[in-house]
Structure formats: C-alpha cells, structure tokens
C-alpha cells in the first residue's frame, strides 16, 4: 500500500524527530556527566541539526513548483552559507 505524505507533514515530522533527538541527548548528557559523552553527543547534535535544517528546507522547497529553480538554488545556497558560517 502506497502512502502519500504532504511535504509540510514530512518536514514537520523531520523537525519533531530532530527535536526529540536533541532532548534525548540533553537528558543523556545530564545523567552521564562524562566529558567524553558530552563531547560526542554535542558533535553529533552539531552535525544532525544543520542536516535536518537542509533536508527540511529541500523537502519544503521541492513541493513549491511555482518558484523558479534559480530562487530555490539561492535559498539553499543561503542556508548552506549560514551553516558554514556557524562553524567558523
């Protein structure tokens, strides 16, 4: 059976899962209080957060057929530059 999911629903689910992961990591960091665990989970959250942003943005923009491709490209380029700028 094939399910059709709207892009907005998929983006919302992605954000929900990402948020639950962040909260789960925060709880683990609070309970463990081990420096190695803190660094590992913080690095993982630092990678998955921007990745969830990009995937959600791509899914949302892919459903908008009335926007020209060059505008979608500029929006994605801006999001990538924001992520790169946050790491420097």
Residue pLDDT, tens place only, 5-64:
777 788 888 889 989 999 999 999 999 988 888 888 888 888 888 888 888 888 877 777
- Confirm whether pTM is higher than 0.75: no
pLDDT for residue 30:
93
**How is residue 87 written in tokens?**
């790491």
pLDDT for residue 88:
60
The length of the chain, given as a count of residues = 88
- CA dist 55 and 59 (Å) reads 6
């Amino acid at each position: 059976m094939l399910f059709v999911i709207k892009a907005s629903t998929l983006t919302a689910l992605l954000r929900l899962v990402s948020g639950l992961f962040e909260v789960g990591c925060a709880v683990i960091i609070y309970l463990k209080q081990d420096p190695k665990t803190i660094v590992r989970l913080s690095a993982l959250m630092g990678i998955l957060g921007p990745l969830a942003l990009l995937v959600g943005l791509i899914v949302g923009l892919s459903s908008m057929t009335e926007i020209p491709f060059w505008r979608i490209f500029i929006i994605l380029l801006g999001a990538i530059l924001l992520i790169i700028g946050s790491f420097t």
